[in-house]
Every structure is written in structure tokens, then in C-alpha cells.
Amino acid sequence: MMLACQLFVSVVRNSRTLSRLVTTWSPVGAAFNAQQRKVDLFQKNVGLFGVPGLSTPAGFEVAQQRALRETEQLVETACNNPPGALTVETFDQLSDSLCKVADLADFVKVGHPDPAFRDAAEKACINIGTVVERLNTNVELCRSLKNLLDNKEVLDSLDPDTRRVAELFMFDFEISGIHLDESKVRKAVSLNVNLLDLNNEFLNGTHLPNRIEKTALPEHIRHCFSIDGNSIQIGGLHADSPDELVREAAYKIFLYPNSSLLLCLDDLLTCRNELAKLVGYESFAHRALNGTMAKTPGKVLWLTAKDFNLMRDMKMKMNSRSTELMPWDHSYFSSAVRAERYKIDPSLYSPYFSLGACMEGLNMLFSQLLGVSFQNEQPMAGEVWSEEVRKLAVVHETEGLLGYIYCDFFRRPDKPHQDCHFTIQGGRLKEDGKYQHPVVVLMLSLPPPTRSTPTLLNPGMMENLFHEMGHAMHSMLGRTRYQHVTGTRCSTDFAEVPSILMEFFATDYRVVNQFARHYQTGQPLPKSMVSRLCESKRICGAADTQLQVFYAALDQVYHGKPQNRSTTDILKKMQEKFYGLPYVPNTAWQLRFSHLIGYGAKYYSYLMSRAIASMVWRQCFQKDPFNRDMGERYRREMLAHGGSKEPMLMVQGKELTYFSWPLPSSLSLGFLHSFSPISSFPRSPLLYV
């Protein structure tokens, strides 16, 4: 791996000698530290992700119809063939056909800059989702699978992966209410279809800004927000602003209750509870957790907190207008404590964390640990939705091409400010014996490069990049026979383990020291700065954990038994019980809790995954983060399986034992996985909305 080389060049101008330090980057680093090369306008438009027909929004309708025709044929095949491995293969082809449209559309509806594409994609998601719910209650389809599972001779002839995938398909039939009478099945389908609309309505609402009359804010802070005529638009919390009044105003205005969205959330939770009870579960949480490592509600979690005193002391020291620590203070003053104790100034680190340097660091790490490298490829016309998107081919030193990662890293209007991983196409062994390469998108919110300066990341951005790349490599390194269980298509509380593990690499001085180079001089980040940065991560960690416990507990209560109280009243009580900072009247933070959609009743996954990732790090990589043997075993025992093996069998594998204490076994996902993105761990309060 070629890191930055330093070449001194002397230039004579007007009898003056100037010394200039030129930094040479590897092809990957150079690609991410430079402006993207323009696409040849005379090229034929190949369609989004190279999918023919998706050169226009109308292509989604064509793709839907093609998938539905394939679905009809595959359902007929599954129902008419004798039970055997072909049955499971047909189910997986059915899932793959629908997911290729739904997964792609799920990304496009939030990531494409063209509203027409977003609208067409959203309609496709709803239409495919409706078909999925009907398939989940198709009695004939279920019977074909049941005939296989009830035939001991046939079942014993199946390999372990095929048998597990068959059981997972049946599991989702069961939680969808296949056992109900015809009228209740129709009701279950209706509830699921209604949930698709409610999910979209709530998710869209969580990102909408709030407006206020310009005169309602003091004149000296108005410039901190987006001004539109006589009103001010606030679309975030400004949690890192040094101005306390800006933080307070943003918090109170952005979180001001929206009555229609409150009703939407009520309807969503009621609908989820009604569906769960209809199919035989005590609550939606019981239904959701039936396929996870946690298994049942009530195993979440623990309280740790007392870092708030440090933050209060810092607030007093900075002569704030108020000494009471408020929710809008958590992120700012925890950073201030770290900065004071370890002299951490993000602006001093950013020049060493150019995007190119960070990508070289990831490339170097994966090359040494797993024998995998990135190759930058120029997208074809129409293949990407923005000219700033980079395309990476992921190549193994002996296995060849593993898959593709589309890097949508830069901010732009109407793009969500949430770091996400989207599966576009899952990997699987195709009928012709070739492997269908996985395709994913990583979406970040980084400042774009300028003509003179590459994108510079602060330490938090760098850590988020490593986190999301952990998801991407989970998708790339899986080599499952079935796409239904490929990569991140596994138990939600296990899917976050590989990404959180990458955060440990991102905060290890031996790793950071390998790639952190000043974008102008090529000088390495001083070891003292690396050490201080890594040490600072331990400060206020308990308070951050407690905040996550509050989020997880709130999520569980919302999806538990009905409380006969408003969601805001529940929020207030849970905040008093699990979090050390007070509830602010006339705010409704739950309306910005977008994880309620993709992680409903499963938000605890971040905490459980963090505990597992910590153990994996300590027992496998803490001694040597570049240990190739351990990297290969990590891939073989965990990443390669996706969801085809129970998580606890992986973390307690005979060859690679991470735990010395027993944990419960688990199932994995259901019939067709959730189309929601895998998102990064929100380390600061509310910053992920």
C-alpha cells in the first residue's frame, strides 16, 4: 500500500526560491481527494446502478412489472415442485427478484436529488411491500415450504444453510399470521399495508424542518439559521454550536410538537400493537424480538451515569448564562470536557484526516487484515445519481471481485443528514454457478472538496466513515449461497457488530498512525495527538451510554403493552427514569426519532452490539490490529455467514471463541428483510436526525 510520498520541488520565480512540499496519494486516496471526473455526455445512459430502464423515473414501473411477472412464475414453481432444495432455492429467487427492486427503490426515494425519481421509487416501495405482505400470507406458498419441513427424509438431506434458510422463511410466515383464519389473514395484510403508509409518513416527517417568524428570535443569532423571507427554517439541533442561545433555540423549535405527526405516531404504534396481538404476540416488542439475540423484552439494559457533573463544572467554568445542564448541552460540553482534558481541537486534527487519507487507511487496514483492496472505477453515464458519487470495486487478492460500493459522501440539498448503509443487491450463488456480486451504497454527510482543499474530516466524521465501511465490508465479505441471508441481512442486534468493531480500529493509535497525514505537507499526525484523541474517547462515555439506554428503553415502552398515555407523557417519564437531564416542556423529541421505523423495538441493538464488538476487539485484535490470521478467522467465523448461521453460534464458534459465558441462541430475519437502511450509531444526543 502506497502512503503519502514527500517530494521537495524548488521553483525559481522573480529571483526568489520557493519550497513546496508535494504529496502524492495512492489511486484510492487521490480519487477521494480530488474533484470527480465528469462523465462523458456522449455515453449511452446505462440507468441507475447499470440497471437498464432506470434512466428515467418511469423505469421503476417497468422494473416492478418485470419483478411481478417473475414472482408469479416463481410462486407457481414453488407450489408445484416436489419438496427439496429446489423449493428453498425458488423461495430465495423470489426474494431476490423483489428485493432488487425494493432495495434499490428504498435508497432512491431518500438519496436521489430528483423529486420525480424519489416519488417513483416511493411508489415502487409501497407496491412491492404490498406484494410482500400478500406473499407472507399465501397459504399455498406456505404449504410448499411446510411439506419440506415436515418431511424428515428430505429435511435431513439438506445442507445446514439450506435448512436454516427454509426455517427462516417459515418463521416469517408464522409471525405474519399464516395460521389465522381467512378473515384474520385479510386483516393482517391490511394492517401491514397500512403500516407501509404510516412508516413513510412518519419517516418523512422526522426530517422536515420547523419554521418560526424571524422576529421571534434575537437578531444576533438569526444568521445561524436558514432565513426564508420573514421566517426562519430550523432543520436540526445545532448541538455543537458554541452559542448556548443557538443550541437552546434550535432544540425548542426543531422539537416543537407537530400535531399531525403525533397522530401519525399514535396510529403507527396502535397498528403495530394490533398486528402483533392478531398474530399471537403479547406486544409488538415480543414479535420484533422473537428473531434476535435478546429474544424477549425486558433484557435491556443497565444504567451508568455520573459524567454530568463534569459537564456542569465545565458549563460553570465557561461562564454560561445558566449553570443548569440541559439536554441541548450534552454534546457541546462533553466535547468541551474532552478538549480541555486532552487538548482536543477538531480543527487541528482535520488537516490530517482528509477523505483521501482516511480511505487509504481503510484500504491499508483491509489489505493487511483480510487481503482485500479498493479499486476506483469511473461510473458510466446515468449509473450514479450525482456526479460526486464515487464507485469502488472491492477486490480480494485471490478470489477476485467481491462486489461494489457506491460512495455518496457529500452534502447536497434535500439529502438526509444521516449516515447510512443501503443494500442495493445481495450476494448469492446463481443458477449458472456464478456468484451475484453484492452492491451497496454508503451515504454520509461530509463537506464537499473545493478546488484548493480536499474534504477534511473531524475525528467524529472519521469514526463514522469507519463505522459505515464496517457495514459495507460485512456485505462484501459474505459468500452465502442465498441472498436472503447475505451480509447485513441478519439479526438486527448482530448486524451492528462489524460496524461498531470498526470504531475500535478507528480509535487505535497504531491504526490511525498508519494513515493520518497532513493533506498539504504529508507529515504524519504526531503520536501525542493520536494518543490524546484515543484517550479522550473514554471521557463522558458513561453519560453517552446512559443516553442510549434512554433511547432503547423508550423504544421498548412504545412497542410494549399500550400505556393509555400520550407518547410525550411516556417520553417525559422515561427521560426522568433513564436519563440525567430534564425534559423540556413543549418539545416532542420522539417525532425526530427516525429509528422507530427501521429499528422499531430493536434500538437496543446498538448497545448489545457494542458489548459484543468490545469483546471481539479485546480478545482478537487489541494485541495486534493487523493480525492476518485473526482477520481471516473473523471473516470465516462471522462475516462470511451473514444471517445463515445463528449469531450466538458465530460469537461462540469452536474456532474463534469470543465469549466465555453463555448467551441465548437466536433466530434471524423473516421472509423478506426490512428495506430500511443500516444506520450509524448516534454517539451524540439527537445528532443523527
Residues with a catalytic annotation lie at 468
| β-bridge partners, 249 | none
Which stretch of DSSP H or E encloses residue 67? helix 59-80
Q: Where are the alpha helices (DSSP H) in 354-425?
A: 355-370
CA–CA–CA angle 168, 174, 178 (5° rounding): 130
Among all chains, which residue has been given the C-alpha cell 441471508?
485
Q: DSSP string spanning 35-66?
A: PPPPP-TTS----GGG-TTTTSTTHHHHHHHH
Between CA 586 and CA 675 the distance in angstroms is 33
| β-bridge partners, 213 | 231
Between CA 379 and CA 358 the distance in angstroms is 22
* 340-344: Cβ within 8 A, 24+ apart: 340/314, 341/536, 341/539, 342/532, 342/533, 342/535, 342/536, 342/539, 343/532, 344/459, 344/532, 344/533, 344/536
Q: What are phi and psi of 318, to 5 degrees?
A: -90, 10
Rounded to the nearest 10 degrees, the angle between the axes of helix 182-206 and helix 115-135 is 160
Between CA 49 and CA 233 the distance in angstroms is 34
- Reduced DSSP (H G I as helix, E B as strand, rest coil) percent helix, strand, coil of the chain, to 5: 50, 10, 35
Q: By C-alpha distance, which of 150, 174, 158 is closest to 89?
A: 158
**CB atoms < 10 A from the CB of 134, how many?**
15
**Pair 422, 99: CB distance under 8 Å:** no
| Torsion sign across C-alpha atoms 576, 581, 586, 590 | negative
Q: By C-alpha distance, which of 199, 273, 298, 208 is closest to 598?
A: 199
The answer to whether the peptide bond before residue 301 is cis (omega within 30 degrees of 0) is yes
Copy the grid coordinates of residue 312.
456542569
Residue 159 one-letter amino acid: D
